[in-house]
Chain A
Amino acid sequence: MSTDPADNSPAKAGQDRASDAEELLRHADAVREEIGGERFRDELVTTLFQHAEDIASQTVRRHKRRLWLPGERIDRVVTHPLLGIPVMAVLFAAVFWITIVGANVPSAFLAGLLMAEGGLTGWFSEYLGIEAPTILGTSLYELLHMLFAALHAPAWLSGFVIDGVYLGLAWVVSVMLPPMAIFFPLFTLLEDLGYLPRVAFNLDWLFKRAGAHGKQALTMMMGFGCNAAGVIACRVIDSPRERLIAILTNVFVPCNGRFPTLIAVSTIFFGGMVAQANPFAASLVATAAVVGVVVIGVITTLIVSWALSRTILRGEPSAFILELPPYRRPNVLRILYTSLIDRTFFVLMRAIIVAAPAGGIIWLMANLNVGELSISAHVYSFLDPFGHLLGLDGILLLSFIIAIPANEIVMPTAIMLYLSKTRMIELEGAELGAILTDHGWTLLTAVCLMLFSLLHNPCGTTIWTIWRETRSARWTLFGALMPLALAIVVCGVVATAVRLVIGVAA
């Protein structure tokens, strides 16, 4: 209890206190200026660590080391100031390369099984050099059509169910499943080993330079898994300002839902361009494209963080502790479980839930006419000039709109729309590249698609998560529209620049 007799009136005390408190804060700020607040904190932390080391050396005795990996020695390499980042680039490139090389064959297999004309005939002759067993010479798509025909189903029904809903699912499964089933276990392996926090450790100084929080490197790494999870992880960030920066920029790293799109485009397009000449070179080109996109994503995260911390979210970065957990012996079963059930199955189910109705809608849009043209033709013709400005086309823009609930279905949607344009399915092995070039794709289209996919607005789940974490309609809107605006500007500039350099033909 206060014993000062003068301070007994609460109202007066309150007033005095407010002005005295301000005075005190001004004084504290002056002291802070004088000795450098951040340096003071750093020194304080250093003193604490030194003391902890002293006490530990006096009280802890180690009889033997029984670590699976000599963690400290490995850390000396993977968190080395110069070696750390190249090692990281090589590791990630290896993961992407394995995915790209490995996904091709099963992708073609699934396409053959599920929807190609002649079933797996093409796949057998191309990859095994033998004739397919008769029973595999018909795809599920063809079987379904036969079944519906035998039941005398009306054309609109078989069209909606088979050419719409079923085909939507088939495309998602054949384009998305193989890269996911390879990429996710590899990614989970890196995570389980304890490598991802080391990546954050390598990158935290960059974030500090950008005026953001070093732990944002960690939340960014989690964004590679899922942006919604990354946004939630931003809770570990200290200051509201830095946490907001981390939330708003998390979307600039491609998530597990977008990686397969990037991998698919780079494989069937970049890789496809040199595939005939040299398959190995093709896989390297495709890997380089994916790594390039990831690097652009990280750089964008840094630039936007920097811009935000210089404008609407001004302030100085704060100090923090980043713990490097011990390397753990990876548990194979748990990796398989996490990556296949938690990740692959989860992402695939999400894609399927969106793709099934989307497939039906796309079929309806493509088959219901208003005047001379189908509804989808009206829409993508309307979007076409705008898409062209961005190096894309109307169909791709429409696909991005349809895919707002789940980014996973951008490519499947686009392919279905392209095919509905010509109303045919011609798929032999990896002829997807041919479909795309037939519909006017150039190298520029592929580049702009990857950039747009990287930078554009977050998916519905992530937008909802941003709202839940910020409870602010304004920041949520900003978090959704700022990336979209950036995607439009970047793609527009790239497309215009390329066209200026190599002529209007592109």
Chain B
Amino acid sequence: MIGKFLRGNCLDCPANRAHAEQPVETGTRVYSVALAGNPNTGKSTVFNALTGLRQHTGNWPGKTVTRAEGRFSRGGAIYQLVDLPGTYSLLSASTDEEIARDFILFGEPDCTVVVVDATALERNLNLVFQVMEITDKVVVCVNLMDEARRTGIEVDVDRLSEELGVPAVGTVASSGEGLDDLVAAISGVIQGQIVTSPKIPAPPAAATALVDDLVPRIRALYPDLRNARWIAYRLIEGDYRIRQALMSGELAGLGQRQAGSP
């Protein structure tokens, strides 16, 4: 009764749509790249700058339900860029956060770019960690570098990259500064020239053993699952959406899409 109105039509769900739009072209492969980030980090500006599209860049609750897609090419490869709703976290399941999370989790993009605000790095890192928990194919785009400079904030992007274990690139999307480096990092991560090893903070010690116990059980049920540990955390928290995905067998779809089962 409650569930009905919040779960949309499954066919509209980003995870499925992304699949329907997978490449049919021969020769060149189309890679999917997700664009995540907090609201007001200039995410849509990055999207516009890369794709040449003119996606509206306002931000208020409700706008987020739709998401934009566009393409750009580099070095013979085509990249399908998906602009996800701006969210502070992926832990909960509000409609906008759910869309973002489902795409990263079930849509399995070849690379996820997390756009962060250079003037509020600390607050923005939270989302970076959460994305890194799900996937290691991550590039951090430190945007609004000009605003940071103006307010006397200096971000050591190389050091950040080192600390996170994934590439970080400083950009000013509105002027195009750093976008070439961003694209290079995206393609590097996808092609394997850049090897990422995300450094994620260790979970509370007390829980580790219990989680360790849960992970093999999940793996036994879903052998193809890449992020069983992440699923284990969510199950322990009682995450509604993940429980549902587990029961419905939706999780099984990960890694074996072509089977075409529900």
Contact = CB atoms under 8 A, between A and B. Distances in A.
Interface of A: 1-4, 10, 14, 17-18, 20-22, 24-25, 27-29, 31-32, 34-35, 37-38, 40-41, 43-45, 47-53, 55-56, 58-66, 232-233, 235-241, 243-244, 313, 318-321, 323, 469-472, 474
Given A40-B204, A40-B207, A47-B203, A63 B238 contact: no
A237 B94 contact: yes
Nearest to B128: A52
A14 B206 CA distance: 34
9 contacts: A17-B249, A28-B232, A48-B129, A52-B129, A59-B160, A235-B94, A240-B3, A313-B2, A319-B92
Contacts of B233: 44
A4 B121 CA distance: 45
A493 to B, nearest CB: 31
A474 B249 CA distance: 31
Given A44-B203, A321-B88, A59 B221 contact: no
B224 A2 contact: yes
Contact of B125 (A55, A63, A319): A55
A118 B5 CA distance: 58
Contacts of A32: 235-238
A56 B249 CA distance: 40
Interface of chain B: mostly helix, strand, loop or mixed: helix
Interface string B100-130: 0000000000000000000001110110011
Interface string B205-221: 01100100110011011
Nearest to B161: A59
B27 interface: no
Interface residues of B, number: 67
B6 interface: yes
Interface stretch (B12-20, B150-158, B171-179): B150-158
B223 interface: yes
A20 B221 contact: yes
Contacts of B194: none
Contacts of B256: 1-2
B164 interface: yes
Contacts of B237: 32, 37-38, 40-41, 44
A31 B236 contact: yes
Contacts of B214: 24, 27-28, 31
A48 B201 contact: yes
Given A32-B237, A241-B2, A60 B210 contact: no
Contact of A17 (B91, B213, B221): B221
Contacts of B152: 62-66
Contacts, number: 177
Contacts of A18: 247, 249
Contacts of B255: 1
B76 interface: no
A29 to B, nearest CB: 8
A240 B92 CA distance: 11
Interface centre among B5, B223, B232 (most CB of A within 10 A): B5
Given A10-B261, A471-B5, A53 B122 contact: yes
Contacts of A64: 151-152
B236 A240 contact: no
B246 A51 contact: no
Contact of A35 (B151, B210, B217): B210
Given A31-B214, A60-B155, A21 B246 contact: yes
A218 to B, nearest CB: 10
Given A1-B255, A44-B204, A49-B126, 5 more contacts: A4-B223, A35-B236, A240-B6, A243-B94, A320-B92
A17 B232 CA distance: 17
Interface in B247-262: 247, 249, 252, 255-256, 259, 261
Given A2-B224, A17-B252, A60-B154, A236 B235 contact: no
Contacts of B224: 1-2
Interface string B1-13: 1111110000000
B121 A56 contact: yes
Contacts of B192: none
A323 B86 CA distance: 13
B96 interface: yes
Interface centre among A47, A55, A56, A474 (most CB of B within 10 A): A55
Contacts of A43: 203-204, 207
Nearest to A215: B94
Nearest to B232: A28
